[in-house]
Structure 1
Amino acid sequence: MTDQTTDFPTLRKPVAVFDAGIGSYAAVAALQRALPRQDIIYFADRASFPYGSKSREELLGILNRTLQFLSGFDPAAILVASNAPSITVLDDLKDMVSVPVFGVRPPVREAMQQAKGRNVAVLGVQSLVESAEMRAFAATEAGNEAHRVHLINASPLVELVESGAFLFDQTSTQEKVDAFVSALDARHADIGAMTLSSTHLPWLRSFLERSVQGRSLLDPLDNALGAILPFAAEGRSQILGLVTENERYTANDFQRMLDRLGVTLPLRIVPRLNED
């Protein structure tokens, strides 16, 4: 790992993917599978973790600075790989750079189709599920069946990923996922499908599948990747890994999680973008 922010490798029209933590690496892996020659920038803004606890004003500032930073790499597209800012602030910011900018949004309509008349749970971080923007989005997607859509604070599940517990303490992780699903079912009857509306939650899919007993789990990332594909540019399959850090969420700890996932990706530490 290095703290040098110069002498970056030469990338050809990379797709830039960013989030505040490990969740967004799932988007990188999916892009590699779909576009094996595409150059990619993976930016983990650990200094801003968690996006889910930030106010609208804080998210506007974070995304403003991040989009400006990543646009300096001449990307083919930028993916905001986090549901909360994608829903709450991205529409206000996506035209501020000349690069196509995409987000990830809960697949409410698809979930309702798979639920087949039963209810839907949108699992997301607190700032997402409590936002007026998410309520409006769900109402638009669900129409006159909006009463079937329940917005659920899944921040405790996100923390299982960010802490690395899902890698290093799988027994405890399963117990906590089981308890979360049991509490959800006790609070909201007849849930037929759930959306994993934090990019962290797909890392818990195997744990959730053991708990939800065959109910559908939908990943918002699928739609986002489909939107990016037309902007692909053939490169040399390079990935540039960038990370910010703070006292609690260090680059070394983040590298350790990547290593445990079997991801070989040297990280370069960049200055915290949320500081002047």
Structure 2
Amino acid sequence: MVYLADRASFPYGAKSEEALLSSVERAALALESLGASSIILASNAPSVTVLEPLRPRVSVPILGVIPPVGAALAAIPRDHTLAVAGASVLAHSDALRQLISDAAGDQAHRVHAVAADALIGLVESGAFLDRAKIRRPIAGFLAALHERSPQVGGLSLSSTHLPWLAAAIAEQAPDLTLFDPADDVVAEFAPLTTRGSGRLVSLATASRSHPIDEFHSMLQRLRLDITPALIEL
């Protein structure tokens, strides 16, 4: 398994869809050149907004991470609403509006998108590793969420970063049902796997804002035995 952390492309939330497509295409072609037989685009924003135009540019199967709108609505009371939290480029996109319309049908009025760039930034920077640093930003996000939709009962963590904050969110909002879109892509990917054993190769890009040393430090603090090699795309 090859894991690529394209940190040089952070933050996704500030990119246009055109820039996002260019960024993920560059990463996908790099993975394909390294021998990948299938690819998971493990980021919600490009999965929703640019996955379809990306697919014909890559010759191997490429899967995305999609907000589980239909399943989430079915799991919460009918008088409650669902918030889909993600990067601005996702939250403000026509693609997400269409996805919500298709998945929710006549219940689409119960779903609203929320930009969560501030929370995503807590993970990108590594601040999420210190619970004291994230308590106030999460409280502010939840207060704004409940002000906008007092009946909110579900929150889709529709950024790959946000599940890292799930425990802290649940601590402050125990009545809010959280949904992780990554759960579905695991099941979708299963038929593409083969039996056996192997190894994990970890690669990372870096920038002045997100240096490789910062990433190494986060992995160590998470007690993950991963040493990413620095590459350029």
TM-score bracket, normalised by the shorter chain, equals over 0.9
**CA-CA distance at 1:172 after TM superposition:** 2.6
Deviation at 1:265, TM superposition (A): 0.8
Residues 91-138 of structure 1 deviation map (CA, whole Å, 9 limit, x = unaligned): 011122221100001111111011221100001111100001111111
Q: What letter matches 1:185 in structure 2? A: H
Whether 1:160 and 2:160 are equivalent positions in the alignment is no
Measured in 1, the distance between the counterparts of 2:155 and 2:20 equals 25
The answer to which of 67-76 and 203-212 deviates more is 67-76
2:153 corresponds to = 192
1:264 and 2:189 are equivalent in the alignment: no
- Secondary structure of 2:56's match? coil
Cα drift, residue 261 of structure 1:
0.5
**Shift in Å at residue 211 of structure 1?**
1.8
- Cα contact 1:64–1:93 (8 A) shared by 2: yes
Alignment of 1:203-242 (within 5 A): 203-242=164-203
Note the 1:74-85 alignment, pairs <5 A.
74-85=35-46
Q: Give TM-score scaled by structure 1 length.
A: 0.82
Q: Which amino acid aligns with 1:189?
A: P
Tell me if the contact between 1:157 and 1:177 (Cα under 8 Å) persists in the aligned partners. Answer: yes
Checking the alignment, whether the CA contact within 8 Å between 1:76 and 1:232 is kept in structure 2 is no
Note the C-alpha offset of 1:242: 0.4
* Structure 2 length-normalised TM: 0.96
Match of 2:210 in 1: 249
Give 1 or 2: higher helix fraction. Answer: 2
Structure having greater relative contact order (Cα 8 Å, sep ≥ 6)? 1
Closer, same or farther: CA 209–67 of 1 in aligned 2, 3 Å = same
Give the share of equivalent positions with the same residue, in percent.
39
Q: Does 1:100 align with 2:61?
A: yes
Segments of structure 2 that go 5 or more residues without pairing to the other structure are none
- The ranges of structure 1 where at least 4 consecutive aligned residues each deviate by more than 4 angstroms after the TM superposition are none
Deviation per CA, 1:60-106: give whole Å up to 9, x if none: 21122111111112223100000000011110111222211000011
CA–CA separation in structure 2 for the residues paired with 1:156 and 1:235 = 41
Give, in angstroms, the shift of residue 213 of structure 1. 2.1
Quick one: distance in 1 between partners of 2:199 and 2:227?
12
Counterpart check, 1:120 vs 2:82: yes
Number of aligned residue pairs: give it: 232
Task: Give, in whole Å, the separation in 1 of the partners of 2:54 and 2:147.
Answer: 39
C-alpha displacement of 1:235: 4.6
Q: Which runs of 5+ in 1 are unaligned?
A: 1-39
Instruction: Choose the corresponding residue for 2:105, options 128, 140, 143.
Output: 143
